[in-house]
């Protein structure tokens, strides 16, 4: 079996064979697309530990059989005791690694919220295969091996990461088996006691204690205050399609702005054709809107509806007509996983989870095996910016699942890695879709 699989009444695609197998097993056990997505997501927390996990965030879109689409937004806030001065002392921009960019982990609460949208199998069953792989071992992928061997990264200096991935001080090569017993115990605890054991319970206290020792300001109160949100999605029409994304702090609205500009400019559906330069300019223009305005929705002064307003779009389109881009769009980057599932009952899931950069903050809390994300690196130190670093604040977020409908119903369930390039990746996917490619 490869990274995608299907049966008579279901389909799944993930970036890892073990995750695909776990999701397929959920279908065979009588589960639906929600159950399959959760099993795949927990397995990826073990098999792709450099890209996602208990210490990361999660965004998802879930279509239910009645046709309703729900957005799940579960990203963590900066610690309540976070100090901008500490970040400023480290340089003129937010640090990428270390304790300062660590934010509250949202993935586990996100898993629970997704489970609540329609799973039929027990919560604990979503963790069985992930726990087995953590304890019995999982082969190192080429992606993980490359991250571990990156010459400019200090992963081997972190005690938690070193104990798992650096036998005798040497990064584990592709194909080697790594064991993560502490993570396995953490997943078993979450399976048995629920997310509360992380968000205020014993596992959370152990995680906080280890991060405090590493210099993070995070507290058990920060974890206990976390809530996953289940919201109506943002949506817009594009050439006969109805495109849904997660609202801010996700950058999903950028995709809707890109599509609206492509429609206004009447750009050809071939993203590699003669209009490639115009498409690149659209990407750049929408990215500037994101960088100016995206942040914690409680602090945003410009709502996405304003950016999708006819007047604003007309102004951007006029600028693009005058200045055609001569260079291609930036190369995508980012350490994220996306998985998609669908079934004949009418459930469909696009789920994206991430630590942000490879191994996030570069800190693995050793007693829990949880790798702490560095999503706080998305903040800016500009004090008046809506995405300014501040205590208890949500950072601007790159994760953006996508679900698309047409006149017949579900047309596409999409997601990608790629960090800040995710809007352009998804836009190119939709251009192929409408172009019949």
Q: Report the range of poorest mean pLDDT among 11-20, 67-76, 166-175, 291-300.
A: 291-300
Q: Where is 79: in which H helix or E strand? A: none
For residues 146 and 138, give the distance between their C-alpha atoms in angstroms, rounded to a whole number.
Answer: 16
Backbone phi, then psi, for 51, in 5-degree steps? Answer: -110, -30
Which tokens in the block code for residue 194? Answer: 């629920």
In the DSSP assignment, the letter for residue 301 is: S
**Is 14 an active-site residue?**
no
Query: Considering only 172-181, 292-301, 387-396, which range has the smallest mean pLDDT?
Result: 292-301
CA 338 to each of CA 63, 354, 380, 422: distance values in angstroms, whole numbers, following the listed order: 16, 9, 26, 11
Residue 294 gets which letter from DSSP? -
Asked if the model's pLDDT at residue 3 lies above 70, the reply is yes
Residue 416 CA to residue 424 CA, distance in Å, equals: 10
| Share above pLDDT 90 across residues of the chain, in percent, rounded to a whole number | 71
Give yes or no for residue 437 having a pLDDT over 80.
no
Helices and strands per DSSP (H, E), number in the chain: 15, 17
What is the pTM assigned to this prediction?
0.92
The per-residue pLDDT for range 180-208, each reduced to its tens digit, is 999 999 999 999 999 999 999 999 999 99
Q: How much is the pLDDT for 68? A: 96
Query: Residue with structure tokens 């698309």?
Result: 404
Is-contact 403 234, C-beta < 8 A? no
Quote the CA–CA distance of 32 and 348 in Å, as a whole number. 9
Mean pLDDT confidence for 113-137: 99
Structure tokens at 84: 């901008």
What pLDDT, on a 0 to 100 scale, did the predictor assign at position 401? 95
Structure confidence at residue 330 (pLDDT): 41
| Tokens encoding 152 | 């400019």
Give the mean model confidence (pLDDT) for residues 61-86.
96
Which of 157-171, 175-189, 325-339, 363-377 shows the lowest mean pLDDT across its residues? Answer: 325-339
Q: Calculate Rg over the CA atoms of the chain.
A: 21
Lookup result for tokens 């584990």: 172
Q: Determine which one of 336, 341, 368, 429 is catalytic.
A: 336
Work out the average pLDDT over 112-136.
Answer: 99
What's the token pair of residue 45? 């927390």
Residues 296, 395: Cα–Cα separation, whole Å: 6
Q: What is the structure's pLDDT at 433?
A: 81
- Are 223 and 388 within 8 A, CB to CB? no
Task: Work out the pLDDT band at 114, boundaries 50, 70, 90.
Answer: very high
Handedness of CA 53, 56, 59, 62 (dihedral sign): positive
Burial class (CB in 10 A: 0-12, 13-18, 19+), 292: middle
Write the pLDDT tens digit of every residue in 210-222.
999 999 999 999 9
368-392 average pLDDT score: 95
What the chain holds in terms of domains, given with CATH numbers, is 8-61+78-227+354-378 (no CATH), 231-333+401-435 (1.10.246.130)
């Amino acid at each position: 079996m490869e990274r995608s699989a299907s049966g008579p009444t279901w389909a799944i695609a993930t970036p890892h064979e073990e995750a695909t197998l776990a999701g397929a097993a959920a279908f065979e056990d009588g589960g639906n697309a929600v159950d399959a997505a959760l099993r795949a997501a927990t397995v990826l927390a073990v098999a792709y530990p450099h890209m996602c996990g208990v210490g990361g965030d999660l965004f998802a879109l879930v279509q239910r059989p009645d046709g309703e689409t729900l957005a799940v937004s579960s990203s963590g806030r900066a610690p309540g005791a976070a100090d901008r001065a500490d970040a400023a002392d480290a340089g003129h921009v937010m640090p990428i690694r270390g304790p300062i960019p660590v934010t509250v982990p949202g993935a586990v609460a996100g898993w629970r919220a997704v489970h609540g949208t329609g799973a039929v199998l027990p919560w604990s069953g979503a963790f069985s295969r992930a726990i087995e792989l953590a304890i019995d071992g999982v082969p190192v992928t080429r992606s993980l091996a490359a991250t571990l061997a990156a010459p400019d990264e200090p992963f081997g200096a972190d005690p938690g990461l070193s104990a798992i991935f650096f036998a005798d001080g040497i990064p584990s090569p592709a194909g080697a088996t790594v064991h993560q017993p502490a993570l396995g115990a953490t997943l078993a605890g979450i399976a048995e006691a629920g997310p509360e054991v992380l968000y205020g319970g014993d596992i959370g206290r152990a995680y906080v204690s280890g991060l405090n020792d590493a210099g993070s300001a995070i507290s058990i109160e920060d974890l206990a205050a976390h809530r996953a949100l289940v919201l109506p999605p943002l949506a817009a029409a594009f050439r006969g399609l109805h495109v849904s994304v997660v609202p801010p702090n996700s950058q999903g609205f950028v995709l809707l702005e890109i599509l609206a500009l492509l429609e206004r400019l009447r750009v050809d559906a071939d993203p590699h054709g003669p209009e490639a330069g115009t498409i690149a300019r659209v990407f750049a223009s929408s990215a500037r809107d994101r960088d100016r305005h995206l942040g914690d929705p409680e602090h945003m002064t410009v709502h996405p509806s304003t950016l999708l307003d006819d007047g604003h779009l007309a102004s951007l389109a006029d600028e693009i007509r005058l200045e055609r881009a001569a260079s291609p769009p930036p190369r995508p980057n980012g350490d994220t996983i996306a998985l998609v599932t669908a079934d004949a009952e009418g459930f469909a899931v696009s789920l994206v989870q991430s630590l942000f950069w490879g191994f996030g903050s570069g800190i693995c809390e050793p007693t829990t095996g949880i790798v702490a994300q560095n999503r706080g690196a998305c903040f800016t130190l500009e004090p008046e910016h809506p995405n300014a670093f501040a205590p208890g604040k949500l950072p601007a977020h790159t994760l953006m699942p996508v679900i698309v409908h047409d006149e017949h119903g579900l047309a596409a369930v999409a997601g990608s890695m790629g960090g800040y390039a995710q809007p352009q990746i998804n836009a190119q996917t939709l251009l192929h879709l409408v172009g019949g490619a």
